[in-house]
Every structure is written in structure tokens, then in C-alpha cells.
Amino acid sequence: MRNKRTMTLAALSIGALMLSACGSAGGTAETPASEGATEDLATTINIAISQAPTAYNGGTAATNAVYNTYVDNLTTSSWVAFNAEGNLEKNEEFGTYEKTSDDPLTVKYTINEDAVWSDGTAIDFDDVLLQWAAFSGTHPSGETDPESGAEADLFLASSTNGFGQMEMPEGEPGAKEFEVVYSEPYADWESVMSTALMPAHIAAEQAGLSAEGDGAELVEAIQNDDRAALTPVSEFWNTGWNYEADLPTLPDTAILPSSGPYVLDNAANGTLTLVKNDQYWGEERAGKTDTIVFKTVVDEEAVQALQNGDVDIIEPSSPTVDTKTALEQIGETVTVDTGQSLTFSHVDLDQRPGAVFEDLKVRQAFAKCIPVADMVDKFVTPVDPEGSVLNLHEYQPAQADYETVLEGAPAAESDGVADIEGAKALLAEAGKTEPVKVSMMHASTSQLRADQVALIKDSCDKAGFEITPQPEAEWSAKLSQPGAWDAVVFGWAGSGLVASGESIYVSGGEQNFGGYTDEEVDRIWSEIVTNTDTEKVVGLKSELEQRLAETQYNVVLYANPNIAGYSSKLQGVELNPTQTGITWNAYSWTKQN
């Protein structure tokens, strides 16, 4: 077995590349092909994926998951993407952009004249305008959100970050050039358009609008804010591209055109097959292998699937020491790359009015009794000896500014050792005389998450809680359902950006699943997202971390270790620490027969 340790990201700059909701380490591993090795290449590469993809549109609050991103890396194109160093990398095969003004912030974009969807339809302004409409939060539905009290938007986007600060793009139907103006500065402006475009002509047709005239009818509806016309468009955008649970089959592939080097071909029993897109116009990112197959394999069975040759590569979402040991025992037929990812594990708490964790002291008590240090010893350091207890939300220990930010947030500092007596005292102060019952949700397919919940139960039940494990197959769909859980353990996959975490923490944020609200946190975030001064951002993040700790937003655990195991016949694989995942460059992979 060839084992390669990746470099850290400690040297990454802050600002536009600062690691956000999840920050960590990662890097690259080179596996050059031997001379003459291209003579006999396999036509198919099989990739293991921990959960079945849930939708073609991964931009909704319900579908914004890495399992969709792994596929999107191959089926979508945009102006920028994250590379193996966690940096934004321009994709000029898709198009170019240029900042033309700082006051107001103005950016001119151009789409490659040859860029088309896989059904031959041009990628142009109607696709861009639909993207803005979906993510800008500017189309209230007339219905009140029961959580925030605000008017809900027609489009159920995962986040309005960046687009919420962007005025409606200026352009005409069929245009390959357009301009965007920001009403206020946005720290991550260069990454905004990394969000995958969805085919506007499909959304229009499915909503009863004409796709003729380069989508003129949809463009007009958006420009005129025609809610009657946009309501069916938003309904389709929200759910019309969703897959059935566990991916037994695909919807009609006619509504799934690709803008990337591969297209969706078929699915069966959680296995998704992609084939080369014969309409793809680029050369650098053109697919090198005819067929890419994603096979749903739970983490506990991934190593065996790799050893049996059922898959060519695995990147378990929650690797354990057993994963590492099993991979090491396979031998020279497998290459193993290790490092840290931008994903971190945490426990979120339902703190809405009347919920178990509405009371700050109860949240603090729960945080005190969770044996974080024990979890690190059991689940992290055997895989990654550099792993440690995580004290921050926006930075991780491997980052250069971690200690600087932590020094400015003393309330966040903890050794992670469970304090049972301290937890008891806080529950007493909260007036709790009976065990506090907590239903703790976790992914039913993850033994690691089950083990974590078991450790938390063993510890916190001694402190005055009564924890009931709540394994759920569709746990991610339940996150946004008020009352569906009291606590939940899962991971956030980071993007490497300054402002990407905003919707997780601000009042009414699309990914603020526990209903947390704090005016000071909202204020700090409003300064962060509009600040392009990197030094000021570090200070603001310290303020943010201090307040998140004081109000016990949630309980952060540790930066997830990362392991990719793959056939030594596979060439071109590089770990990517961001939420983009291992398939970020899978279009360039080849496999020797």
C-alpha cells in the first residue's frame, strides 16, 4: 500500500480565501502515470459515495449536501471552482469575469460563446437571471415563515449569501455578457458565481412558460417581478429536480441537461451512471474516461467494496481508525491519501421557544457533559495524530489564524473534558429537578454517529439528562422541521470563504436549523459579509466566536480527519479539503486496465 500524507493549509491567506463555517487542513497527492501507461485505459471508473444523491438541483435548503456536489463536479460548469489547495481557480473554458468598479462593486461576466447545455440549448442570460432570482431572496411568497416571522421567499434556496447583496443582473435574453452591481460590498464576491447554474429553459417549460426567444418570457417575468408567473417556476426549482429516496431511478433525463463534461445517464438502486457529454465544448476539463459510476456504499462497507474491486475509490464521510487499519491491510493494490478536511463535527440544539434547549443554562450544561476530548481520542487521533478538540466554528486548529482568533474569544476555549458536576450545577440553576429528556438525531447509516451519541448519552445521563438516540435514514430532510429533534450530530462541509457560514448563524438563516437568534451575532455578521479588509475580518471573527460561545450556539467537536483510498491503477486523484470533495477533478481521472 502506498500511503501519502497531505500538506496543511496553514499558509492560506484570509480574505476571499478564508476558511469559513468549516476550516481545516488538506492538500494534494501526486500519482503520475508511468510512461506508456495510457495505452490501455479502462472505460469505466466506479466511485463510492456514502449516501445516494438526492437531487439534480443541489441549491435548495433541503438538497445542499456534499453527496450532490460530488456529482455536480462533473455535470456542471461555472466561472470558478475550488482546487486541491482550497483556493478559487478560474475556469475560463466556461467564461471570464472582471471587476470594473469598487464603488459600487461592479463585475462584468462573459459566458463562452460555445457554452451549451447538453441538449444543445445555449447557456446564456436567462440561466443567470434564474440563478439570481432563486438565490437573492427578493421574491416573497406572501406566506409568513413560522420560525422567523418574516415573509418566506418563493424560492427555497440554501442561502442568499452574496446574491442578497446583488442587484438584479443587467442583460438581455440570449446575451452572453452581463453585468452585476452590488448594493453594498461583499467579501466573497469572486466566489458568488461558483454556484451552479440550473437550466432556465427546463424550469420555464415545466412551469408552463415558453422557452422560445432565448427564454424571453422567463426573463420578462423575473424583471417585472411577475409573481403569478414565477410561482410555478419556483415550485419546480424547489422540488421538480429532486430524486426519489435512495435513488431507485432517475427522472426523465430530458429535464437534466448538463453544463459539464459528463451527463446523467441512468440510475438504479442507489447507483448513478454518468457518461461523457458529447456537447461539452471545453478541452482542459473534457472527460478522459467514458463512464463514471457513483455507487452508494455506507462507510462501514466502503473498504471491503474497494478491496473487492466493486469500486475504484472511496472517501468515507466519517473515517475511523478501523477504516485506516483496514486500508493499510489491503496492500500495494491500494493508495491511501490522508489529511484533514474542511468538514467539522458538531452537535446542534433546538432552542426555539418551548424547545428543550431554549434555556441558555440547559445548553451550557449539555455542552459541559459532552466528552469531546474522549471523542477526539477515540475517533480522530488514531486516524490523524494532529487532530485535537475544536474550540471555534469559523476556524480550525491547522489554520494560521486559529490561535489569534481564539485569543480574542476566551469564552470559546475548552479542553473538551466532560464536567459532570458543572453540568449538574447549571441544570440546578435552571430549575431542572427531573431528568431533561433529549431526543438526539443522527444518520442511521453511520456507525460513527451512533457511537458518538452513545458516548454522549453515557456521559450526559449522569449529569441529569435522559438522552434517547434517534437514528434517521432521512436525517438531513428533518433538520429544517421544527420539533423533529432536540439535538443532532452531523458535519458542516466548508467552502473556504469568509461569508459562507452566515446563513448557519444569523436569525432566520436558511441553515440555522435550531432557531438560534442573537442580535449581536446578526450585527457582527453584517459587518463581516461587507468587509474586504482581511485584518479587520480576523478581529470580527474573534468577536463572533466570543458571542457564539457566550450564548452557546451549539457544541463544536473536532475537525474531521480525511482518508481517500483508491486503486493504484487510478491516476489523477487529489484530495480537496473543501466541500467540493474528492471528485473535484474526476473528469481528468484515468484507470489502467
Write out pLDDT tens, residues 549-572: 999 999 999 988 888 999 999 999
pLDDT at position 564: 94
Residues 222 and 355 in one domain: no
Start-to-end CA span in the chain (Å): 19
Q: What are 464's three cell numbers?
A: 441529569
pLDDT at position 454: 98
| Non-local CB neighbours of 55 within 8 Å, separated by 6+ positions | 62, 63, 68, 241, 242, 243
Specify if 297 maps to a domain. no
Q: Which alpha helices (DSSP H) does 192-351 contain, by range? A: 200-206, 212-223, 227-235, 299-308, 321-328
| 85-89, 116-120, 234-238, 544-548: segment of lowest average pLDDT | 85-89
pLDDT at position 8: 30
Specify if 29 maps to a domain. no
422 sits in which H/E element:
helix 420-429
Q: Over the stretch 36-52, which tens digit does the pLDDT of each residue have?
A: 444 699 999 999 999 99
Q: Over the stretch 414-458, which tens digit does the pLDDT of each residue have?
A: 999 999 999 999 999 999 999 999 999 999 988 899 999 999 999
| 102-116, 241-255, 393-407: segment of lowest average pLDDT | 393-407
CATH number at residue 433: 3.10.105.10
pLDDT at position 316: 87
134 sits in which H/E element:
helix 125-135
Q: What is the dihedral sign for C-alpha 350, 353, 355, 359?
A: positive
Eight-class DSSP state of 267? E
Residues 359 and 221 in one domain: no
In degrees, rounded to 5, the angle at the alpha carbon of residue 522 between the alpha carbons of residues 494 and 344 is: 20
DSSP string, 183-196: SS--TTGGGGGGSP
Residue 282, Cβ neighbours under 10 Å: how many? 18
Asked if 369 and 420 count as a contact pair (C-beta separation under 8 A), the reply is: yes
Domain stop point among 178, 196, 226: 226
- Give the whole-number percent of the chain exceeding pLDDT 70: 92
Specify if 472 maps to a domain. yes
Specify if 402 maps to a domain. yes
Which residues does residue 558 pair with via DSSP β-bridges, in sequence order?
345, 389
How would residue 490 be classed by pLDDT, with cut points 50, 70 and 90? very high
> What average pLDDT does range 535-547 have in this prediction?
93
Residue 181, Cβ neighbours under 10 Å: how many? 16
Antiparallel, parallel or unpaired: β 313-314 and 555-567: antiparallel
| 294-303, 320-329, 392-401, 520-529: segment of lowest average pLDDT | 392-401
> What average pLDDT does range 243-265 have in this prediction?
97
Q: What are 130's three cell numbers?
A: 434564474
| Interatomic CA distance for residues 356 and 438, integer angstroms | 7
Asked if 560 and 25 count as a contact pair (C-beta separation under 8 A), the reply is: no
Specify if 293 maps to a domain. no
CATH number at residue 203: 3.90.76.10
Structural domains of the chain, count: 2
Please check the confidence at residue 16 and state whether its pLDDT lies above 70.
no
Asked if 587 and 290 count as a contact pair (C-beta separation under 8 A), the reply is: no
Specify if 234 maps to a domain. no
Antiparallel, parallel or unpaired: β 436-443 and 88-90: unpaired
How would residue 146 be classed by pLDDT, with cut points 50, 70 and 90? low
Q: What is the dihedral sign for C-alpha 278, 283, 287, 290?
A: positive
Eight-class DSSP state of 118? T
| Interatomic CA distance for residues 231 and 240, integer angstroms | 13
Specify if 272 maps to a domain. no
Q: What is the dihedral sign for C-alpha 429, 435, 438, 440?
A: positive
Q: Which domain covers residue 91, as residue numbers?
A: 77-226
| Interatomic CA distance for residues 41 and 6, integer angstroms | 27
* Top-confidence residue, 276 or 191: 276
Asked if 209 and 221 count as a contact pair (C-beta separation under 8 A), the reply is: yes
Give Cα 235 distance to the centre of its chain.
23
The C-alpha torsion from 133 through 137 and 138 to 142, rounded to 10°, is 110
In degrees, rounded to 5, the angle at the alpha carbon of residue 263 between the alpha carbons of residues 575 and 211 is: 130
The mean of the pLDDT values for the chain is 89
Q: Over the stretch 206-229, which tens digit does the pLDDT of each residue have?
A: 999 999 999 999 999 999 999 999
Specify if 13 maps to a domain. no
pLDDT at position 37: 45
Domain stop point among 183, 211, 226: 226
Q: Over the stretch 284-336, which tens digit does the pLDDT of each residue have?
A: 999 999 999 999 998 889 999 999 999 999 998 778 888 889 999 999 999 99
pLDDT at position 30: 36
Closest CA to 502 of 158, 58, 128: 158
